[in-house]
Amino acid sequence: MKGTAIPIYEMFDGSKTKLKIPVYQRNYDWKVPNCQQLFDDLVDMVKEDRDTHFFGSIVEIGGDYSSKLQIIDGQQRLTTVYLLILAMVKLLEDGQIEAEDPDLVAEEIEEDYLICRHVKDRENIDHYKF
């Protein structure tokens, strides 16, 4: 089996990818210190101009290149990144933060990275409430 690094934005691209968390994975249980450490690691990555950060191991289901991927390792990290993207969208929508890049629009981020076009509406993030 050959491993390949894939940019994280491709992992969250709802038009191409459906990530599955297997039932044997533990529940999401990260607390604030865990999330803060990941956030600090990502900030350091940008400051140090590093191109990569390890988020976990993901395998293709079925081997038919159907873009259905199963998380083997990294469920806590990937879920936290997903929640960070969701928080950014909500802050942009509420006007609590402003993007430096005018192309960074909350609605497009949500549609491109938070909504999976491969599943029924009831399974999508669009039913979240804060």
The pLDDT of residue 115: 78
Q: Could you tell me if residue 87 is inside a domain?
A: yes
Which pLDDT value is given to residue 12?
66
Give me the number of domains the chain comprises. Answer: 1
Quote the DSSP letter at residue 119: S
Of 15 and 43, the structure prediction assigns the larger pLDDT to: 43
pLDDT on residue 33: 96
Q: Is residue 129 part of a domain?
A: no
Pairing label, strands 57-60, 18-20: unpaired
More confident residue, 82 or 62: 82
| Any domain includes 42 | yes
Using CA of residue 95, residue 100, residue 104, residue 109, what is the dihedral sign? Answer: negative
Q: What is the pTM of this model?
A: 0.70
In a domain, 40, yes or no: yes
Domain of 108, in residue numbers = 8-119
Give the pLDDT of residue 125.
47
